[in-house]
A and B are shown apart, each in its own frame.
Chain A
């Protein structure tokens, strides 16, 4: 039996209507997982968007996913960052905490430790912006759980290979 593992896949696509539906529909229709998905235009002149997908599967499934993505007509490039050498992954989270007194002070101190920025403050609440790899973001959110956490928004993972090579 082949074992399943997590892969981070970067996909360069034409920024046209329906492209996200095509990619998501492919995953849904063929029963693949999406653990994280980010998408935004990255080249306005060439009208290109970059989609970063984190998915899990056996090597045969991952190979299928990449081949299926690559055969979508508006897809330019598909790169499996997990197998193509070292890469970096980052995500950003907005974390809202509502508390007063000690808890409020502790939240602010921990935010400092995690180099999270305060981007909104009221006398009884903060919104922190934290970036880093998934583990760091996860840990920070976990810590806030006891300190008045009321809301979380996460971007999902964006990733890029290390070194000078471009997608």
Chain B
């Protein structure tokens, strides 16, 4: 339904434009500058508004919504502190390429620059942490700006877009004419179709490979579910091994025998050694991030590298590649498959077989092994049991940031894209819970679990009030080791075991905390009771906090210490003594 009416206020016009963009839900928090918008929201019933308890959570919730649906997430916050509180979420969305449109209130145009009450230079502050931003100075530009913002947010490499809305612009009147959809930006046209001759070259390189590996990332997920299907198809056509980045988990089925697990700092032994020893590296939608490459000089030193990315600035940024292909992961995969089928290239099966035998040798090291006893719950065990109980259910996982996040990436298996929401680039503690709310809003019937640490969860704990208000049955699965686990792990490995400020003093009683907000709290510290607790958590159709008291000393392995190369992995606690971290490595985070 297109809405056309004469002389509406800017705020009404904004709501109409959002409806025309097929927005269903807005995550927000009111304040003086956006009151006209809240008034317009009150008078309609097409847009649903979810009232969060902190603006940062609004952005993370919109991120969870966007990443689990592929749609643009929408945020509405007020001027000044509303906008500055949203900055962490915006930066998170920029780093992880999540399409967000964030509407911020602003003081009236005649007061801009006056240090007015709740004024902040929002476009100035958000310029480096958004894909693009706008300050709307006249109501006549409002609708076009909104539509353009959605186009920019979702086109090319997706990202957050801020629209700063002065209060007088929201109150002035103007006609709304529904635009011809989809609206485009007048000049911004990111390249999505790959060059044909690059595809030919890629096929030749891939076909000639003797020790190849696919290294794929979030770009495949962002391209849409079809890209993941095409990726599986192409990887099966070649029979080559594939590893995923943290952001790419789910873009290839984890249970597939060609999958060698996640790579990088806490990736599997087999994935990292495959990267180090390969002769052709096929990167689709990943960005050679420092958590992936380790020591740059020794990163996959003998391979020819193909890099498929929709963002030309990701190419040759950290690692020089031999064949860059600019384009959308899905479209590139489509072309690769078509060219492969047309060419029917002959692969050196003998070499590939020998390569697989080598990889299987590394797999046999069983790098994720841990020792569970009858006394304390190992965090890995808790996640393995969690996965056992949820694997046949329609489930979505979000995480906070730290050890639990890495264990979740290692021990939960993702078969489909858009099921795994984690803060990869920015590493934002406090991301997981609000993100899970956004996922639950988009998928009301699904089981949504935030795998958390007891430190991270405290960073957005106020959102318990939001889940209570909207009866969102989000599950918070806390792996509680009473430490900022990853900080403690680094202090143990790099700073002589001086646990400076990483012990969590005065933690709340999470069971009582849950109850205070009308949620259900469960606690478990015995391995024998774990299964029963998880089952209970799943059965309760309300928000639940599960406080799983886990081994306080457990570290996350494998680990490539910073500054080290892929072959230099620590495989377990007994491995660390021989390999002290270099000073150069200590400087890196």
Contacts and interface: CB of A to CB of B under 8 A. Distances in A.
Interface residues of B, number: 23
Interface of B: 123-124, 127-128, 131-133, 135, 152, 156-157, 185-188, 190, 311-313, 315-317, 320
A20 to B, nearest CB: 11
Contact of A64 (B133, B157, B316): B316
Contacts of B152: 73
A63 B316 contact: yes
Give chain A's interface secondary structure class.
helix
Interface string A1-20: 00000000000001001100
B132 A64 contact: no
B132 A73 contact: yes
A73 B185 contact: yes
B135 A67 contact: no
Given A18-B127, A21-B124, A73 B188 contact: yes
Interface of A: 14, 17-18, 21-22, 25, 29, 60, 63-64, 67-68, 70-74, 76
Nearest to B124: A21
A45 to B, nearest CB: 14
A29 B312 CA distance: 18
B127 A21 contact: yes
A155 B351 CA distance: 62
Contacts of B128: 25, 29
Give chain B's interface secondary structure class.
loop
A71 B313 contact: yes
A60 B127 contact: no
B221 to A, nearest CB: 20
Contacts of B131: 73
Given A64-B316, A67-B317, A72-B132, 12 more contacts: A14-B186, A18-B135, A25-B127, A25-B128, A60-B316, A67-B312, A67-B313, A67-B315, A71-B190, A71-B312, A73-B131, A74-B187
A43 to B, nearest CB: 13
Contacts of A21: 124, 127
A72 B157 CA distance: 12
Nearest to A48: B187
Contacts of B185: 73
Contacts of B320: 60
Contacts of B157: 71
Nearest to B186: A14
